[in-house]
Homo-oligomer: A and B are copies of this chain.
Amino acid sequence: MLFHVRMDVRLPHGMPQDQAAELKRVERARAEELQRAGTWRHLWRIAGQYSNVSVFDVASTDELHTVLSTLPLFPFMEIAVTPLLRHPSSIHSDDR
């Protein structure tokens, strides 16, 4: 089941660079792990923003929340979730 997720990252200006770098490192490791598992199906950067547009493929809203709320950057992100489904005009058998 697909969910469209936009994440806008807002790191406080006062955060030490070490802490920010470490946060980004573990966030990236987690993002790669979730992509390999097929959960984080798409991940794009928005031009000019510290933001991404993503598509998640999960079994339930519970799984979606667990995945999002345990992201290392979760406390520093505004997140918008939109439920998706296959479009009747889609020809991609794997558009997920």
User: Hey, which bits of chain A sit against chain B, CB under 8 A?
Assistant: 1-5, 12-13, 27-28, 31-32, 35-36, 42-50, 52-53, 55, 60-62, 64-65, 68-69, 75-76, 79-92, 95
Look across to chain B and name the residue whose beta carbon is closest to the beta carbon of A12: B13
Contact A65 B91 (CB under 8 A): no
Which chain B residues border A46 with CB–CB below 8 Å? 4, 82-84
- Max chain B Cβ within 10 angstroms of own Cβ: one of A12, A79, A90: A90
Which chain B residues border A12 with CB–CB below 8 Å? 13
Name the distance in Å between A27's Cβ and chain B's nearest Cβ. Answer: 8
Contact B44 A84 (CB under 8 A): yes
Look across to chain B and name the residue whose beta carbon is closest to the beta carbon of A53: B4
